[in-house]
Each structure stands twice: as structure tokens, then as C-alpha cells.
């Protein structure tokens, strides 16, 4: 997330879509299916500029059901209330794209970010939709700069999957097969997909804490690392990784966007305040110079007056006394 420090940082967010209502709401927003939005920063006239790197072939739920029927994914053993959909949101602060030319640069950046997303989720086939939004106005920057500035970001809706080995049971008639791999399926599993991973040392082995237990890196931290490293390797060397130790993983997408916008507003407000302070300093300096000039003018006038008085006295002193009396 962009901080108030002038550094451009990559941000990757992962959100669980827990209920059918959540899925429908995200689809309405991402695919711009509504006629109007509560978000006043969405500019309908620019919606045609949104870019699909993978367009949905149907609504998200129907696509999921078709993939299950085709054997692309499996929900075998999945609990009824298990999370079956996820959304990744990739972002960099608006100023980054503004300073690189805007829309065309954003399209290329997120085309590369989409490749990162496909790698992160395990394959493009598990992505239901990937769309870059180019129609959301950054209000704070627009007002500060006096021109429209847009917040480019990428939404990726996907199915969280892992490979799962199905073993032959102990009841298998062929004793040689018992306990061996019967088949490998692509299991829908949010918990397995985003489980924490051990931190590796320089020797490649898991690092241990004082109690001898493995030190784990949160899935959120892994996601941030993966996205940042992918984009750096793609040639975007002028961005930094999102800050470590933040609480962004606990925010909803809406909360995240509100917080991000607030921080961007603070940054712009700080710049405006600094400009105003510079203006006040300049006014104060001008006033000071004006006072000096006025004082100098007074001193010059006084000096001229004194000089004339002295001159008059000298002239009078040179005139004959009788002439002075006759006057």
C-alpha cells in the first residue's frame, strides 16, 4: 500500500468469497453489471476502457459448476460451507501510473501482473475473470492536481486449488496397491492453498524458533513476496515491496480501498500544506524585504534632508552679513 513517503509499492490482496451473495456482489462490481454504483468515483463513460485479460464465459458460479462437471476441479470431501472462490486485487499507488503516462503504462503493467496471478493460483485455467479497472477516479489526486487522475488496479477472481493424492484403501483386494497413489485430483481447498509456509535458512532448511518449532511465514506475506518478485523480474525495478508486518491481510477489500485512499489523501494534503507553507514563507520574506526597502528609503530621504540643510547653512555662511540684513 502506498505510504506517505513517496515510495511506489506493490500490493497484493487476497479475499475469501465465502457465500453466493459475496460472489454475486464481486461479479457485479468487477464486470460493471449495475446501472449505478454507490462508489461515486466510478466514471461510467470510462468503463469501456477497462481491460479483461481473461473475460468470464458465464457468471462465476455457473463457470465453477461447469469446471466441476468437466473434471477440471474436484469438490470431493469438501464441506458444504467451505470457501470455494477467492479474489486477488493487485495495486500500486495512483501516482506511479500517473508519473509513467497513465493508461497505456497501466495496461502493460497489469498484463504482466496477470501472468503473476496465473502463476500464483496454479494456472490460468483456475481463473474465472481478470479485469483491470480504469474507470475509478482518484478524487484526492484529481482535486490536488486540477485534472482527472485514475486509480488503475487489477481484480482476479479464481478457484483456490491444490493437488491431492487419493490412495488405495486398506480394503483394496490387491495388497500391493494398498496405501499407494490411486489418482491425483485438483482439489478445491482454500485452507490448503493458503496455508502458512516455513521460513527457510541459508542452507535451505526450515528455520526453528527457541522452542524448536518451525518459523512460519503467513500466506499473506508469501503472496506479497511472490507478486513483488515477479514484477521486479518483469522489469519494474522502480517499485518496492509492500510493507512487512502490516495488518492489511485482515481488511476487507472495501476497508483496504478506504484506508489506501485515506493515506493517498494524507499524502496529497501534506503536499498542499507544504506548498501553502512555502507560499506563506515567501509572503513573509517579501514583506520583510519591503519593510527593509521602506526603512532604507526613509534613511535615504533623511540623509538627503540633512545634506541639503548643511548645504544651505554653508551657503548662508558665505554670504556678506549686510546682504543678509537687507533681506
At residue 119, the pLDDT reads 94
Asked if residue 255 belongs to a domain, the reply is no
At residue 175, the pLDDT reads 82
Question: In 175-245, which ranges are continuous DSSP H helix?
Answer: 190-193, 219-233
Put residue 82 in one of left, alpha, beta given phi > 0 → left and psi -120 to 50 → alpha: beta
Average pLDDT, the chain: 82
In angstroms, the Cα distances linking 135 to 155, 156, 191 are 13, 17, 34
First-to-last CA distance in the chain? Answer: 93
Does residue 2 carry a pLDDT above 80? Answer: no
Domain CATH number, residue 106: 3.30.930.30
The parent domain of residue 143 ranges over 9-249
Least confident range from 44-58, 137-151, 236-250: namely 236-250
Asked if residue 116 belongs to a domain, the reply is yes
At residue 304, the pLDDT reads 67
- Percent of the chain at pLDDT above 70? 80
Q: For residue 20, count other CB atoms closer than 10 A to its CB.
A: 12
Confidence label for 98 from pLDDT (cuts 50, 70 and 90): very high
Distance from C-alpha of 57 to C-alpha of 67, rounded to nearest angstrom = 12
Does residue 248 carry a pLDDT above 60? Answer: no
Dihedral (Cα; 253, 256, 260, 262), 10-degree rounding: 110
Asked if residue 50 belongs to a domain, the reply is yes
Q: Where are the beta strands (DSSP E) in the chain?
A: 9-17, 51-54, 85-91, 127-133, 153-158, 161-167, 181-188, 197-198, 216-217, 240-241
Number of domains composing the chain: 1
Asked if residue 270 belongs to a domain, the reply is no
In a 3-state reduction of DSSP, which class is residue 207?
coil
- CA angle, 276 then 280 then 285, to 5°: 145
Asked if residue 1 belongs to a domain, the reply is no
Distance from C-alpha of 95 to C-alpha of 138, rounded to nearest angstrom = 10
Q: What is the pLDDT of residues 153-194, one digit of tens each?
A: 999 999 999 888 778 888 888 888 888 878 777 889 887 887
Report the candidate in 130, 148, 129, 131 with the shortest Cα–Cα distance to residue 140: 148
43 burial class (0-12, 13-18, 19+ CB within 10 angstroms)? middle
Q: Is the dihedral of CA 164, 165, 170, 171 positive or negative?
A: positive
- CA angle, 231 then 232 then 233, to 5°: 90
Looking at residues 291-307, what average pLDDT do you find?
Answer: 75
Distance from C-alpha of 40 to C-alpha of 5, rounded to nearest angstrom = 27
Asked if residue 318 belongs to a domain, the reply is no
Asked if residue 81 belongs to a domain, the reply is yes
Asked if residue 22 belongs to a domain, the reply is yes
* Cβ contact 264:137 at 8 Å: no
pTM over 0.85: no
Amino acid at each position: 500500500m502506498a505510504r506517505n513517503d513517496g515510495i511506489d509499492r506493490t500490493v497484493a490482496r487476497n479475499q475469501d468469497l465465502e457465500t453466493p451473495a459475496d460472489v454475486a456482489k464481486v461479479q457485479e462490481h468487477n464486470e460493471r453489471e449495475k446501472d449505478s454504483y454507490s462508489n461515486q468515483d466510478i466514471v461510467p463513460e470510462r468503463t469501456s476502457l477497462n481491460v479483461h485479460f481473461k473475460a468470464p464465459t458465464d457468471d462465476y458460479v455457473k463457470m465453477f459448476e461447469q469446471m466441476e462437471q468437466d473434471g477440471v476441479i474436484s469438490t470431493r470431501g469438501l464441506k458444504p460451507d467451505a470457501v470455494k472462490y477467492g479474489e486477488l486485487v493487485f495495486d500500486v499507488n495512483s501516482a506511479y501510473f500517473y508519473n509513467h503516462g497513465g493508461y497505456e503504462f497501466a495496461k502493460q503493467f497489469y498484463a504482466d501482473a496477470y501472468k503473476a496471478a496465473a502463476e500464483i493460483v496454479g494456472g490460468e485455467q483456475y481463473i474465472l475473470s481478470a479485469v483491470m479497472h480504469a474507470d475509478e477516479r482518484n478524487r484526492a489526486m484529481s482535486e490536488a492536481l486540477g485534472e482527472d487522475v485514475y486509480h488503475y488496479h487489477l481484480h482476479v477472481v479464481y478457484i483456490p486449488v491444490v493437488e491431492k493424492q487419493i490412495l488405495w484403501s486398506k480394503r483394496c483386494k490387491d495388497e500391493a496397491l494398498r496405501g499407494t497413489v490411486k489418482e491425483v485430483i485438483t482439489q478445491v481447498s482454500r485452507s490448503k492453498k493458503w496455508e502458512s509456509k516455513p521460513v527457510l535458512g541459508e542452507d535451505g532448511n526450515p528455520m526453528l524458533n527457541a522452542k524448536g518449532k518451525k518459523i512460519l511465514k503467513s500466506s499473506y506475506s508469501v503472496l506479497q513476496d511472490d507478486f513483488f518478485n515477479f514484477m521486479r523480474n518483469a522489469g519494474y525495478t522502480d517499485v518496492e515491496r509492500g510493507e512487512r508486518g502490516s495488518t492489511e491481510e485482515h481488511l476487507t477489500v472495501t476497508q483496504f480501498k478506504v484506508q489506501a485512499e485515506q493515506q493517498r489523501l494524507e499524502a496529497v494534503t501534506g503536499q498542499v500544506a507544504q506548498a501553502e507553507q512555502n507560499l506563506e514563507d515567501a509572503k513573509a520574506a517579501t514583506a520583510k524585504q519591503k519593510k527593509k526597502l521602506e526603512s532604507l528609503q526613509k534613511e535615504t530621504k533623511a540623509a538627503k534632508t540633512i545634506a541639503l540643510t548643511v548645504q544651505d547653512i554653508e551657503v548662508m555662511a558665505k554670504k556678506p552679513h549686510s546682504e543678509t540684513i537687507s533681506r
